Amino acid sequence: MRILEVGCGPAQYRGVVRGDYVGVDITARAYAPELPRDPDVLADAHGLPFKDAAFDIVLFSAAFHLLVDPPRALSEARRTLRRGGRVAIFDYSRRTLERLAGTYASTGQAEGVATLTCADWVRLLRAGGWRDPQVRLNTSSLRGRLASAIVPRPLWNAWVDRMERAILITGTAP
Ligand SMILES: C[S@@+](CC[C@H](N)C(=O)[O-])C[C@H]1O[C@@H](n2cnc3c(N)ncnc32)[C@H](O)[C@@H]1O
């Protein structure tokens, strides 16, 4: 498995995902002295420096809501995935993003996807040409088969618990 994490920050999944991991972030600047970012490649999600069909999985973890042009980021994810490859977008739920809105108001972030309903997510993926778009909302259903296939279950559970309520969107590259 070749796995690309876009917006990887500290790259906490390197070494724990089952496969060859590449982490991309727009910056390598540490969040704080004790909290470093650790990307393999510096790049913008809206223009990835990888050849077509280079990966089997493209993962966005708590990063997609920061992107200013979601359709373009999805298009880049699709281009870098092999046919039949999977995108997994794990993020805060709409309710959590609303709660965090004050945090983002000053930066203009989280405007792109913050208001999307589950049906909107499905439409967004369909419009981008993805097959089999699926949306799972709330924590219990996220502890499922797909999640544990990408990330070992204890780590995934810790991740979900931290997020209050979460959403997982998946699609298959045509
Ligand atoms: C909340 S952190 C999540 C880090 C990591 N994925 C995790 O789950 O621990 C979001 C990351 O996305 C990165 N990011 C934001 N906009 C980006 C963009 N346009 N392209 C690439 N990375 C971006 C940020 O720099 C940040 O490191």
% of the chain exceeding 90 in pLDDT? 44
Question: How many angstroms does the Cα of residue 83 sit away from the middle of ligand 1?
Answer: 25
Write out the two tokens for 67.
Answer: 């992107």
- Report the pLDDT averaged over residues 30-39: 88
Task: Answer whether residue 111 shows pLDDT above 90.
Answer: no
pLDDT tens column, 48-97: 999 999 999 999 988 898 888 999 999 999 999 999 999 988 887 777 67
Distance between CA atoms of residues 146 and 144, nearest Å: 6
pLDDT at 146: 46
Angle in degrees, CA 48, 54, 55, rounded to 5: 95
Query: Which among 4, 37, 36 is positioned nearest to 22, based on CA atoms?
Result: 4
pLDDT at 112: 59
pLDDT at 14: 83
Around ligand 1, the residues with Cβ closer than 6 Å are 6-10, 12, 24-27, 37, 44-46, 61-63, 66-67
pLDDT at 166: 66
Question: How many angstroms does the Cα of residue 119 sit away from the middle of ligand 1?
Answer: 25
Angle in degrees, CA 108, 12, 73, rounded to 5: 40
pLDDT at 153: 58
Question: Which of the pair, 166 or 52, is modelled with greater confidence?
Answer: 52
pLDDT at 145: 47
Q: Note the CATH architecture for domain 2-172.
A: 3-Layer(aba) Sandwich (3.40)
- Taking CA atoms only, the protein residue closest to ligand 1 atom 27 is 9
User: Within 13 Å, how many C-alpha atoms sit on residue 135's CB side?
Assistant: 18
% of the chain exceeding 70 in pLDDT? 72
pLDDT band at 24 (very low <50, low <70, confident <90, very high): very high
pLDDT band at 170 (very low <50, low <70, confident <90, very high): confident
